Amino acid sequence: ETGVTQTPRHLVMGMTNKKSLKCEQHLGHNAMYWYKQSAKKPLELMFVYNFKEQTENNSVPSRFSPECPNSSHLFLHLHTLQPEDSALYLCASSQDGGQGGRPQHFGDGTRLSIL
Amino acid sequence: AQKVTQAQTEISVVEKEDVTLDCVYETRDTTYYLFWYKQPPSGELVFLIRRNSFDEQNEISGRYSWNFQKSTSSFNFTITASQVVDSAVYFCALSEPSQGAQKLVFGQGTRLTINP
């Protein structure tokens, strides 16, 4: 059983819909991440949260809106997405003390398809 | 800027063959960490190994071994006596120093197919 759980596993939505992706980690970690994985592209870091505070926004369009109510939960709110946003969205968590080096633990991802 | 290159997009071998996945990185930092992850068809990235920049000792874990060479900025991964269950996409990654949570820079990944 994975320590990082993502729901839903699959999501199909129209460009005008609003939906949210959810991530929950059961590992007691303080940092959480959103990544986008498209075909033929490396994994792209989207957002980083550390102790609920956003520390990184990697020039992500505003149609993606993250929310981190506590260190165990992370959401990605989606609104008026484009077909090129179809991808696998991966959530990860890690225990970081500011020195780096701790491995990130990933969820199974949400496969998003935009019609 | 930090960069990770996995030049092999796809590799296909027959079961029981040895296979090496290449990883070359670029960084200006003197302290950094390198990682390998495995992504099976289910989608989850599974952590395999971490190596810090001050430790160039090679590591072996069962059929897996890693060769870290700072002189050539490489961190290669070898699977000995490959098995069908090793089929997956493998990612090499480099940590980027950051205040608080670390950031990982991933290579493009190598899709490994082990044929029975």
Q: pLDDT of B62-74, one tens digit each?
A: 999 999 999 999 9
Q: Do A56 and B98 touch (CB under 8 A)?
A: yes
A9 has a pLDDT exceeding 90: yes
Q: What angle do CA A58, A60, A61 make, to 5 degrees?
A: 160
- B93 strand-pairing partners: B35, B106
Q: Interface of chain A against chain B, CB under 8 Å?
A: 2, 30-31, 33, 41-43, 45, 48-51, 55-56, 88, 90, 92, 94, 96, 98, 100-109, 111
What is the CA B105 to chain-centroid distance, rounded?
Answer: 12
Write down the residue that tokens 């290449």 correspond to: B22
Q: pLDDT of A30-50, one tens digit each?
A: 999 999 999 877 899 999 998
Chain A residues touching residue B107 (CB < 8 angstroms):
42
What is the CA A95 to chain-centroid distance, rounded?
Answer: 17
- Model confidence at B100, pLDDT cuts 50, 70, 90, reads low
Q: pLDDT of A49-106, one tens digit each?
A: 989 999 889 899 999 999 999 999 999 999 999 999 999 999 999 987 655 678 899 9
Q: Do A43 and B100 touch (CB under 8 A)?
A: no
Mean pLDDT of B23-30: 93
Number of Cβ atoms within 10 Å of the Cβ of A71: 17
- Model confidence at B25, pLDDT cuts 50, 70, 90, reads very high
Interface of B with A in 81-100 (CB under 8 A): 91, 95, 97-100
Mean pLDDT of B26-53: 92
With pLDDT > 90 as the criterion, what percentage of chain B qualifies? 74
Of A76-80, B9-13, B93-97, the poorest mean pLDDT is in B93-97
Number of Cβ atoms within 10 Å of the Cβ of A44: 16
- CB contact at 8 A, B98 and A100: yes
Q: Tally the C-alpha atoms within 13 A of residue A93's C-alpha that lie toward its C-beta.
A: 25
Q: What is the secondary structure of chain B as a DSSP string? A: --EEE---SEEEEETT--EEE--EEE-S-SS-EEEEEEE-TT---EEEEEEETT----EEETTEEEEEEGGGTEEEEEESS--GGG-EEEEEEEEE--SSS-EEEE---EEEEEE-
